[in-house]
Amino acid sequence: MSGPRAYYITTPIYYVNDAPHIGHAYTTLACDVIARFMRLDGRRVNFLTGTDEHGQKVEKSAKAAGMTPKDFTDKVSQNFRDLAVAMNFSNDDFIRTTEARHIRACQALWQALLSRGHIYLGHYEGWYAVRDEAFYGEEELTTGADGRKRAPSGAEVDWVKEPSYFFDLSKWQQPLLDFYEKHPDFIAPETRRNEVLSFVRGGLTDLSVSRTSFKWGVPVPNDPDHIMYVWLDALTNYITAVGYPDVGSESYRTFWPADLHMVGKDILRFHTVYWPAFLMAAGLEPPRRVFAHGWWTNEGQKISKSLGNVIDPLQLVETYGLDQVRYFLLREVPFGNDGDFSRRAMVTRTNSDLANGLGNLAQRSLSMINKNCGAVVPEKGALTEADRKLLGQAQDLLPRWREAIETQTFNRGLETIWFVVAEADRYVDEQAPWALKKTDPARMATVLWVLAETVRYLAILVQPVMPESAGKLLDQLAVPQGRRSFVHLTEADALKAGTPLPAPEGVFPRFVDPDVPAPAAAPAKAKGKKA
């Protein structure tokens, strides 16, 4: 295959026993930004999200709602589709584990594991948490104040005894450790990799992979009394979506193994221990990388329904704006760490970075061009050292942004971009085009061209994070739709003198919150008005 290698990125599929919250939005947003970046960078992308719809927890939730499991999952799955639309996610596929293609893939994977001697029939007896859909050893449990045993997640566990098929996970300890050593970037960040290594080195026991005590799941082939363990079912979605079991298909050959599974830290073990073991046992390649991000708190408090402080991403968007929320979530904390959502931080980022930062830079520059250059791209004269320095800083951003995307260090990449925003602000103050208007109009035109060209670079580069707002900036620069990808970040594609420009409009309005004192506007803003 010629050209850049294809790129396959996935969110976890979201469990449909509850409404979408900020955690779901955060994970999918990170994937969306990567997918958009890769497309702009010339890659063929497959971006998958979806819903996990089987299991005892869903069966119980449906019963409590007075609905059949299928009707219940139809309703709740749609909420996740609606979230994707509201957050402007660009997923190429949305998978549901109740789909026929997925059931076919699950049963094919089961048959592959069975035929290769990795599944056997026995009896399971031990602790099971319905909320986590996970089995736990005695040594992993704690006892709550109520005397009930609890999983590490805090979920209550019950003693379960039933016939079960088992996967021979115990045989995969050394192959997994060898795989981790050969692929040091498979698990990220480093702290999570260390957790997994410690767990696997501690020894693995065979895994129960079927249940008989309820019926809402994928039937085990040739044994209808059993349904598949929900995690064997759920994890298979990643290969279902690229055509498994047809491993010779164009889709499978193009996109598997996946480049990145993005997950929350609570489901790291399933994706980095069970999933690669299942795949290797079936003779399939494991994914290239699994990144486990942290959790959000709300104003310093753990988020929980009992506290009533669950953050609804749709309410955030309604209050602060879509691109403002997208930017904040990836800029505020290092991706991989836990983060705290506070209204003060949200307002500060919106006003300082967006309204006073990139938005003010673009508005000042384009307003001066509109007023002083006949509303067309000005003529560029000879460039000074200061001009070349600023343009060079903008031109150097792409490889640094690319590295941040490939390592999922979003905040570091955005810091790098906003450093250039600050440099452009300093350039305006130093060059003072409003003064040049009287003393050297040709030099003023060059300074304004340099600013507009810098904004073009910045707008193209922030498209993955803020696609709508970046699009508005590029519209105001009269950059054609077909010239907004990263391949156009060249001098050959620079703004052409004489190109008519529309009247500039603010893209990032300041947010006024009576309970949050806003930072003072950048002093340079007043200077811009003198032009």
- CA end-to-end distance (rounded Å), the chain: 53
Tell me what pLDDT residue 342 has: 84
DSSP notation for 443-467:
HHHHHHHHHHHHHHHHHHHTTTT-H
What is the identity of the amino acid at 173? Q
Q: Which long-range contacts (CB under 8 A, 24 or more apart) does 296-305 make?
A: 296/22, 296/23, 296/26, 296/338, 296/339, 296/340, 296/341, 297/338, 297/339, 297/340, 297/341, 298/340, 298/341, 299/340, 299/341, 299/342, 299/343, 300/340, 300/342, 303/21, 303/22
Neighbours of 222 (CB within 10 A): 10
- Mean pLDDT in runs of 10 for the chain (531 residues)? 82 86 91 98 98 91 92 92 95 97 98 98 87 84 87 88 94 98 97 97 96 93 94 97 98 98 94 98 98 81 65 89 96 83 90 97 97 96 97 98 97 97 97 95 98 98 98 98 98 97 96 64 39 34
CATH 3.40.50.300, applies to 351-528: no
397 phi, psi to nearest 5 deg? -70, -35
Is the Cα torsion angle 94, 96, 97, 101 positive or negative in sign? Answer: negative
Tell me what pLDDT residue 298 has: 75
Longest dimension (CA), the chain: 89
Distance of alpha carbon 49 from alpha carbon 35, whole angstroms: 12
Decide if 454 contacts 390 (C-beta within 8 A): yes
The structure tokens listed for 75 are 């309703």
Nearest to 89 by CA among 14, 17, 188: 14
Tell me what pLDDT residue 517 has: 54
Tell me what pLDDT residue 304 has: 62
The structure tokens listed for 188 are 């990220």
Decide if 30 contacts 408 (C-beta within 8 A): yes
Tell me what pLDDT residue 336 has: 76
What is the identity of the amino acid at 279? L
Per DSSP, 34 falls in state H
Q: Which helix (H) or strand (E) holds 431?
A: helix 410-431
**Cis geometry, peptide bond prior to residue 257 (ω within 30 degrees of 0):** yes
DSSP notation for 279-328:
HHHTT-PPPS-EEEE--EEETTEE--TTTT----HHHHHHHH-HHHHHHH
Q: Which helix (H) or strand (E) holds 253?
A: helix 250-255
Tell me what pLDDT residue 522 has: 42
Neighbours of 385 (CB within 10 A): 7
- Would you call 227 helix, strand, or coil by DSSP? strand
Is the Cα torsion angle 206, 232, 129, 22 positive or negative in sign? Answer: positive
Distance of alpha carbon 455 from alpha carbon 449, whole angstroms: 10
Beta-carbon-side half-sphere exposure of residue 205 (alpha carbons within 13 Å):
7
Q: For the chain, how many residues are written?
A: 531
pLDDT tens for residues 197-208? 999 999 999 999
pLDDT tens for residues 479-500? 999 999 999 999 999 999 999 9
pTM for the predicted model, two decimal places: 0.91
Distance of alpha carbon 390 from alpha carbon 378, whole angstroms: 17
- Would you call 182 helix, strand, or coil by DSSP? helix
Tell me what pLDDT residue 297 has: 72
Tell me what pLDDT residue 500 has: 98
What is the bridge-based pairing of β-strands 7-10 and 260-264?
Answer: parallel
Is the Cα torsion angle 431, 435, 439, 440 positive or negative in sign? Answer: positive
Per DSSP, 500 falls in state B
